Structure 1
Amino acid sequence: MPKISNKGLQMPESPIRKLVPFAEAATKKGKKIYQLNIGQPDIKTPEGALNAVKNHDISVLSYSHSAGFESYREKLAKYYQNSSIPVEKDDIIITTGGSEALLFAMGSITDPGDEVIIPEPFYANYNGFATASGVNIKPIKASIDNGFALPPISEFEKLISEKTKAILICNPGNPTGYLYTKEEVKQLADLALKHDLFIVADEVYREFAYDGATHHSIMSLPEIAENAIMVDSVSKRYSMCGARIGCLASKNKEVMATAMKFAQARLSPPTFAQIASEAALDTPQEYFDEVIEEYSYRRNLLVEGLEKIEGVKVAKPKGAFYCIAELPVEDADDFARWLLESFDDNNETIMVAPAAGFYSTPNTGKNQVRIAYVLKKENLERAIVILEKALKEYKLQN
C-alpha cells in the first residue's frame, strides 16, 4: 500500500476542531452544547456586505486578478491609511483568508529547515502552516501571570541563529487576547533590524481593543518597512468568517513579487466574497463601536465569572475575543472530551478548546483551555455555571 508523507503524518490536528466528532455525537443524544471553542462571532454581518452579493448582476462568474480586485485593494489601502498604516494598493495581495496569507508569507521568506520564532501560546494553525512549509518553530513562552505580555527581548535573542528568518506575532493575540503596547512593537522592530529578520504580524483582530487601548501595527513604523509583513482578514472584523477573504501586505517589493507567484499559482481569490468584502469597507464606525462595547461587556462577564470558580486562573484579555483559563485539572484534553461524552447539566454542556494545541513546546498548557466569548449574555452566563458544576463533578470522579 502506498505510504502517507512524513509531512502529512506530522501535520497536527486542530485543537479547536478535533473535538467536533464528540460534539456531533453529543448533539445526536439530544444535548445542547454551548460552543466556547471556536471564534465564530454571533454578531450580524453588515447588511451592506450581504446586499452587495444579493444585488450584484453577474452573468459570468469569472476569475479576478491574482492580487484581487483593484477597486477592493484601493479601498482597503485607504482603510489602512486611516489607521496610520502607509500602504498603497500595490502593497496588498488579496488572499483566501488570513490562512492563505500566512502560507504565502512562509513560502516567500523561508526555506525548508529555516526557523521562525513565535511567542507561545499562539494561534494553533501556525503549527500546521510551519509543517506545510517545512519550517521549524522556535517557541518562546509567554506567561499567564502577566497576561501573556511580550517575553523579554533578551529571550528572543537567545533563540536567534543563522537559520532564523522571522518573528511571527499575533496582535491582538489569539488565543490570549493580549494587545502589544507601542513600546513592545518598537522593541520587536529594533530586534528585527539588528538581526536582519522579518516581522510577520497577524493583525486580524485589530479592531478589537478594549478599555480605551490602541492597536499598534508593525506596518506603522517606517524604519522597518522592508522587514514588516502584515496578515489580515475580514473574518472577525465584519463577522464574515465564511467569506474566506484576507490579505498579505508589505512595503517590501521583493516579498510582494514573490508572494504574487504563489497567488498566481492558486489563480485568484473568490469573486463573490471579494464583492462582499469590498462593500464591507463602507460599514460605519457605529457598527464597530457597538461591537466593541458588546465584546467588552462579554469579556468582563466571562473573566469575573471565571475568577469566582475555585481553582481557576484567568488572564484578562486586552483585545480579540478569547482568553486562556488555567483549570484545576491535569489534562484539559481529557476534561474537554469528558464534557461532551459524559457530562451534562439538565442536558446541557459546553465545548472548550484545550490549550496544549496552542503551544509548540511539548507537554505545555495541558491544564489550560481557550475560551471564546462569542456567545450572547444569557448563554455565556449559563456556560459559566455549567463549567463550575462540571469541574466539581470531574474532580470527584478523578
Structure 2
Amino acid sequence: MPSISNKGTQMPSSPIRKLVPYAEDAKKRGTKVFHLNIGQPDIKTPQVALDAVKNNNIKTLSYARSEGSEEYRIKLANYYKKNNIYVSANNIIATTGGSEALLFTIGSITDPGDEIIIPEPFYANYNGFSTASGVKVVPVISKIEDNFALPKIEDFEKLITKKTKAILICNPGNPTGYLYSKEEIEKLKQIVLKHDLFLIADEVYREFTYDGLQHTSIMSLDGLEQNAIVIDSVSKRYSMCGARIGCIVSKNDDFIATAIKFAQARLSPPTYALIASEAALETPQSYFDDVKAEYVERRNTLIKELQKIDGVKVANPKGAFYCVAELPVKDTDDFAQWILEKFNDNNETVMVAPASGFYSTEGEGKNQIRMAYVLNKKDLIRSVEILKEALKQYNS
C-alpha cells in the first residue's frame, strides 16, 4: 500500500473544525447547537458588495490578474491610506483568503528547516501552514494571567537562531482578542531590525478594537520598510468569509516579486469575489461603527456571564471577537466532544474550540477553550447557561 508523507502525517487537525461531525450528529438527533467555535460572524455583509455580484453584466467569467486587478489594488491602497498605512498598488497582492497570503509569505521567506517565532496561543492554522512548508514554529508563551500580553523581549531573543527567519503576530489576536500596543509593536520593530528578520502581522481584525484603544499597524512604523509584511482579508471586516479574498502588503520589492511567482502558479484569485471585495471598499464608516458597538456589547455580555461560573477564568479581549477561557476540567478536547456527543440541556448544546490546538507547546492550553462571540446577546447568555450546566454534569 502506498504510504502517506511524513508532512501529511504531521499536519495538525483544526481545533475549530475537527468536532464538526459530532455537531452534525447532535443536530440530526434534534439538538440545537450554538456555534461558539468559529469566527463566522452573523453580521450582514454590506449590500453594496452583494449587489456588485448580483448586478454585474459579465458575459465570460475569465481569469483575473494573478495579483488582482490594478483597479482593486489602487482602491485598496486608498483604504490603507485612511488607516495611516501608505502603500501603492504595487505593494499589494490579492490572494485567495488570508490563508493563501500566509502560505505565499511563508513560501517566499523560508526554506524547509527554517524557523518562525510566534507568541502562543496563536491562530491554529499557523501550525498547518508552517507544517505544509516544512517550517518549524518556535513558540514564545503568553499567559492568561497577563491577559496574553506580549512576552518579554528577552524571551524572544533567547529563541533566535541562524534558522530564524521571522516573527509572526496576529493583531488584534485570534484566539485571545489581545491588542498589541504601539510600544509593544516598537519593541518588535527593534528586535527584527537587530537580527535582520521579517515581521509578519496578521491584521485581519484591524477594525475591531475596543475601549477607546487604537490599532497600530506594523506598516505605519518608519524603518520597517524591508522587514514588514502584512496579511489581510475581507472575511471579518465585511463579514465576507465565503468570498475568500485576502492580500499581502509589503514595501519589500524582492519579497513582492517572489510572492507574485507563487500567485502566478495558482493562476488567479476568484473573479466574482474580487468584484464583491472591490465594491465592499465603498462601505460607509457607519457600518463599522455599528458593528463595533455590537461586538463591544457581545463581549461585555459574554465576559460577564462567564465570570459568574465558579472555577472559570477568562481573559478580557481588547479586539477581534474571541476570548480564551480556562475551565475547571483537565482536558477540554474531551469536554468539547462530550458536550456535543453526550450532553444537552432542553435539547440545546454548545460547540467550542479546545484551546490546545492554538498552542504548539505540548500540554499547553489543555484546560482552555476559545469562544467566538459572533452570536447575538440572547444566544450568548443561553450558551453560557448551557456551558455552566454541562460543567456541573461533567465534573459530577
Deviations 1:269-288, CA, capped at 9 Å, x for gaps = 00000000000000000000
Deviation at 1:149, TM superposition (A): 0.4
Q: State the identity as a percent.
A: 69
Residues 131-153 of structure 1, C-alpha deviations (whole Å, 9 max, x = no match):
00000000000010111000000
Deviations 1:338-374 (A, max 9, x none): 1001110000000000000000001110000000000
Partner Cα separation in structure 2 for residue 81 and residue 341 of structure 1:
49
* CA distance in structure 2 between the partners assigned to 1:133 and 1:221 by the alignment: 29
Q: Does 1:29 align with 2:42?
A: no
1:240-276 CA deviation, whole Å, 9 max, x = no partner?
0000000001000000000000000000000000000
Q: Secondary structure at the match of 2:344?
A: coil
Q: Which residue of 2 aligns with 1:108?
A: 108
Instruction: Give the Cα–Cα distance (whole angstroms) in 2 for the partners of residues 143 and 386 of structure 1.
Output: 27
Q: How many angstroms apart in 1 are the aligned matches of 2:81 and 2:194?
A: 27
Partners in 1 of 2:333 and 2:348 — Cα distance?
Answer: 19
1:244-393 alignment, distance < 5 Å: 244-393=244-393
The answer on 1:165 being equivalent to 2:165 is yes
One-letter code aligned to 2:235: S
Secondary structure in 1 matching 2:388: helix
2:58 matched residue in structure 1: 58
Whole-angstrom CA distance in 2 between matches of 1:84 and 1:274? 24
Q: Which amino acid aligns with 2:72?
A: Y
Does residue 182 of structure 1 match 2:182?
A: yes
User: Alignment partner of 1:334: what SS?
Assistant: helix
Q: Which residue of 2 aligns with 1:89?
A: 89
Tell me the TM-score normalized by structure 2. 1.00
Letter in 1 for 2:319: G
- TM-score, scaled to structure 1: 0.99
Secondary structure at 2:158's aligned position in 1?
A: helix
Distance between the aligned counterparts of 2:378 and 2:298, measured in 1?
Answer: 10
Partners of 2:40 and 2:179 lie apart in 1 by 20
Q: CA deviation digits over 1:8-65, x for unaligned, max 9? A: 1000000000000101111100000000000000000000000000000000000011
Give the letter aligned to residue 49 of structure 2.
A
Q: CA deviation at 1:86?
A: 1.0
Amino acid at match of 2:230: M
**Matched position secondary structure for 2:44:** coil
In the TM superposition, what is the alpha-carbon distance from 1:222 to its structure 2 partner? 1.9
Task: For 2:294 and 2:252, locate their aligned partners in 1 and report how far apart those are by CA, in whole Å.
Answer: 37
- The amino acid across from 2:44 in the alignment is K
Q: Aligned-residue CA RMSD in angstroms? A: 0.4
The residue that corresponds to 2:5 in the other structure is 5
Q: Distance in 1 between matches of 2:237 and 2:212?
A: 18
Count of residue pairs brought into register by the alignment: 396
Amino acid at match of 2:82: N
**Cα deviation, residue 301, structure 1:** 0.3
Report Cα offsets for 1:310-337 as digits up to 9, x if no partner.
0000000000000000000000000000
Partner of residue 199, structure 1: 199
Q: How far did residue 74 of structure 1 move?
A: 0.3
- 2-side partners of 1:47 and 1:146: how far apart? 40
In 1, Cα distance between equivalents of 2:69 and 2:370 = 36
The secondary structure found in structure 1 opposite 2:177 is coil
The residue that corresponds to 1:153 in the other structure is: 153
Q: Does 1:143 align with 2:143?
A: yes
SS of residue matched to 1:159: coil
Q: Distance in 1 between matches of 2:120 and 2:280?
A: 32
- Name the CA distance, whole Å, in 2 between partners of 1:89 and 1:222: 19
Partner SS, residue 224 of structure 1: coil
**Cα offset for 1:377?**
1.2
Distance 2:115 2:327 in 1: 32
1:112-140 CA deviation, whole Å, 9 max, x = no partner? 00000000000000000000000000000
Q: Which residue of 2 is the match for residue 120 of structure 1?
A: 120
The one-letter code sitting in structure 1 at the alignment partner of 2:129 is F
Cα shift at 1:387: 0.6
Q: Deviations over 1:202-228 (max 9, x none)?
A: 000000000111000001012111000
Residue of structure 2 in register with 1:209 after alignment: 209
Letter in 1 for 2:78: K
**For residues 299 and 377 of structure 1, what CA distance do their matches in structure 2 show?**
9
d(CA) in 1 for partners of 2:344, 2:82: 48
Letter in 2 for 1:233: S
Q: Distance in 1 between matches of 2:105 and 2:153?
A: 23
For residues 166 and 357 of structure 2, what CA distance do their matches in structure 1 show? 22
Query: What residue ranges of structure 1 are gaps of 5+ in the alignment?
Result: none
- The whole-number CA distance in structure 2 between the counterparts of 1:283 and 1:362 is 43
Structure 2: distance between partners of 1:351 and 1:82: 38
CA distance in 2, matches of 1:110, 1:21: 35
| C-alpha distance in structure 1 between counterparts of 2:21 and 2:217, whole Å | 38
1:181, distance to aligned residue in structure 2 (A): 0.1
Runs of 4+, deviation exceeding 6 Å = none
Partner of 2:42: 42
**1:69 Cα offset (Å):** 1.1
Aligned partner of residue 27 in structure 2, secondary structure: helix
In structure 2, distance between residues paired with 1:339 and 1:35 = 12
